[in-house]
Chain A
Amino acid sequence: MLKKLLKYDMKANLFPLGLTYIILLGYGVFNRLLAVLVKSDYRAAFSFVFSSVGFFFAVLAAVVITIIFIILRFYRNMMGNEGYLSHTLPVTPFQHMMSKTISGVLWLFIMSAVIYLSVWIWGGSIPSKIGFYFDFTGLIRSIIAGMEPVRAVTEAVNLLVSPLLLVVTFYFSICLGHLVPKMRVFGAILFYIAIALVKAALTTTLGIMLIMMKLDYSTMTDVTLIMNLVVNVGCLIGFFWGSCLIMKHRLNLE
């Protein structure tokens, strides 16, 4: 059943996100052509600069559109009218959450790959560090350069956990918002902000406790990384199960 759910979850966003990524790649090609033109005609330089600024906003738009459609898919399919079908399928809330989480993260990775590719097309070179997901390139180089294994593994695991946590936090906020009748969307936004604030407060408190332990810099860095990872994994598991419990016991579709 999970495979079937995943198929439909991916398919639901295929047209809007596919179109977005095709446009972004096309824009990258357009900029590349402009760059070639600049070499032969300096008057094209202004167009290239403006187009490059526009490209930056296009990348930003692709990120925002991807996140919006990931959130919308969950909200409409689980809490909207489509929920009357989704929640009456012979499928558990756990399977629904798994499918939505996997599809959300897959779309984030596809988005990252498309942005990476479009920037490469635009700039003609692989970017060393653009945005969250491109840290992976730097990470690999660090490992190869002899980075400490503990730090490398922690960073790698955190890179995998972070997109999962991002997606699951959205879903958990929507589920929490569902508990507030007549203010579900507003409630979801408030809960998302509250979760972010609580998490920031928790990590800050733990950070202060670490500082008070007066560890050496290297140990402090390792412990901080591990601590952040533990907090992220804990939140991921908690939010995932919380969402499942709300969908199982507190669902009330209007």
Chain B
Amino acid sequence: MSILECQNVTKLYGSKPALKNFSLTLERGRIVGLLGPNGSGKTTLIKLIAGLLTPNQGTVTLSGMPVGVETKSIVSYLPEVTYLNPSMKIKDTVKFFTEFYEDFDQERAYSMLEHLRINPADTMKVLSKGTKEKVQLILVMSRRAQLYVLDEPIGGVDPAARDYILNTIISNYDENATILISTHLIYDIEKVLDEVVFIKYGELMLHSTVDKIRNQMGKSVDGLFREVFRC
């Protein structure tokens, strides 16, 4: 059974369509890049998967289940924003995740914090923006979820931190799990991707494996992206 199935999904903000008859199926055990320019509908799709939005038309199912409480327990979501309470200490956020998510691996979280030399006794508000994002990523990747949905995980950090984040993503997820990464920094992320989804004006432009793009089209993902989304 596929992990994600979107069938003819339409999402409107007022009268403006953010997604139009969007259909997509993702299989398990894949690292998928969700690529598109700003305003293409990436975050809207991610929010529908995470249960933060309800489609106007169509259906979104995860592991055969409609989006709801059950799917939220199998989806690990990293938003673009800092979503942790600033007054909480890092160890409190770890405890929070342990209490609410049965699949949360506390040991793994503390191990990653130690590796990054982040003090669990620090409160969120004293951390830099990049460190906050790393803490959030650690919390998300410490879950043994079936689908990881990461919205711009490397957008606001320096190149060295980007490499660390990508390594963290690759080395800390279950092989049977699927990772969906939304980004427009394609060059950095291309090396870890199995598949790519191109989205433009709320419509699916391309869903292909990276190998196919390279072997059959003779292009890098970055090169194809620039061609498809040329201004």
Instruction: Tally the A-B contacts, defined by beta carbons under 8 Å.
Output: 54
Minimum CB–CB distance for A246 against chain B, Å: 11
* Cβ contact of A90, chosen from B52, B84, B101, cutoff 8 A: B101
A89-B82 contact in complex given A1-B100, A4-B100, A252-B53, C-beta closer than 8 Å: no
A39: Cβ under 8 A from any B Cβ? no
Report the Cα distance A12→B124, complex, angstroms: 14
Flag the segment in B68-76, B202-210, B214-222 that touches A.
B68-76
Kindly state whether residue B153 has any CB partner on chain A within 8 Å: no
B72-103 vs A: 1/0 string, CB under 8 Å? 11010101011111010000000010011100
- Interface presence of A91 (CB below 8 A): yes
Given A88-B75, A90-B101, A253 contacting B85 (CB threshold 8 A): no
Given contacts A84-B79, A249-B54, A252-B13, contact A90 B85 (CB under 8 A): no
- A87: interface (CB < 8 Å): yes
Interchain CB contact under 8 A, B100 and A251:
no
What are the residues of chain B within 8 A of A8 when measuring CB–CB? Answer: 96
A250 to B96, CA, bound (A): 26
Q: Is A81 an interface residue (CB 8 A)?
A: yes
State how many angstroms separate the Cβ of B85 from the closest Cβ of chain A.
6
On chain B, the residues within 8 Å of A1 by CB distance are 100
| Closest chain A CB from B35 CB (angstroms) | 22
| B43-84 Cβ-contact flags toward A at 8 Å (1 or 0) | 000010011111000000000000001101101010101111
Q: Is the CB of A91 within 8 A of B100?
A: yes
Total contacting residues, chain B, CB less than 8 A: 25
Interface residues of A in 12-32 (CB under 8 A from B): 12, 15
Query: With an 8 A cutoff between CB atoms, is A212 at the interface?
Result: no
- A82 contacts B83, CB within 8 Å? yes
Q: How far is the CA of A82 from the CA of B82 in the complex (A)?
A: 8
Instruction: Give chain A interface residues in 84-105, CB to chain B under 8 Å.
Output: 84-85, 87-92
Q: How far is the CA of A81 from the CA of B81 in the complex (A)?
A: 7
CA distance A91 to B73 in the complex (A): 9
Inter-subunit contact B69/A87 (CB<8 Å): no
Beyond A1-B100, A4-B100, A8-B96, whether A88 also contacts B85 by CB under 8 A is: no
4 cross-chain pairs, A with B, having the tightest CB-CB distances, nearest first? A84-B83, A90-B73, A84-B79, A85-B83
In addition to A15-B87, A90-B72, A92-B69, 13 A-B residue pairs with Cβ atoms within 8 Å of each other are: A4-B99, A12-B85, A81-B83, A82-B83, A82-B85, A83-B52, A84-B77, A87-B52, A89-B100, A90-B69, A181-B14, A249-B54, A253-B47
27 A–B contacts from the bound complex (CB under 8 Å) = A1-B100, A12-B87, A15-B87, A81-B81, A82-B85, A83-B52, A84-B52, A84-B77, A84-B79, A84-B81, A84-B83, A85-B83, A88-B50, A88-B77, A89-B72, A90-B69, A90-B72, A90-B100, A91-B69, A91-B72, A92-B69, A250-B54, A251-B53, A251-B54, A252-B13, A252-B53, A253-B52
Q: Which residues of chain B have a CB within 8 Å of any CB of chain A?
A: 13-14, 47, 50-54, 69-70, 72-73, 75, 77, 79, 81-85, 87, 96, 99-101
